Amino acid sequence: MGPRPLSITHGVGVGGVVVLQTSVVGRLQVAGASPDLVIMVLAYAAFRLRDNGVVVLGFVSGLLLDASGTSVIGLLAFAMTLVAWGATLTREQGGRGVLVNALRILLLTLAGIAAHTVISIAFGEWSLAVWEGLRRMALIPLLNFALAVVLFPLSNRLWVPSLK
């Protein structure tokens, strides 16, 4: 079964993930950082959706995250669109095993956080100290990596068609 077009259920699903990210996952912090569930869902959605559907889903999820916070609209939308585009480019590598998929998610998370940091600095929205920013850029990808390793059996059953 090949990639499918984007449907309304995907939009509702990403809305639910954004609500989970902002309400539940955001409160589960390790050393002041929490995993980014939205990036993980975008990485797994690349297995099931066509390229343009994943990119649209990334933009919409970023826009919803922007609307749920106090930041300038579009900053997270840009970062999540970049992550979704990267997820479509690396989808073939994601089904190769737990370590490869976890490294893929780590790199996608790092790219998304770096893009958000750069665009936030460019628009004057960066209010964190340098060490705080570096800590976030180091911890969030590592937390996503650990979560991807732990959730690998479940995520492969749900998302990766080649390993069913």
Q: Is residue 3 included in any domain, yes or no?
A: no
Which two structure tokens, joined as six digits, stand for 96? 């190769």
**pLDDT of the residue at 73:** 84
**pLDDT of the residue at 153:** 74
Q: Is residue 1 included in any domain, yes or no?
A: no
Q: Domain tally for the chain?
A: 1
Residue-number span of the structural domain to which 51 is assigned: 8-163
Q: Which stretches of the chain drop beneath a pLDDT of 50?
A: 163-164
Place of tokens 């180091």: 138
Identify any residues that bridge with 49 across adjacent strands, giving them in sequence order: 4
**pLDDT of the residue at 85:** 92
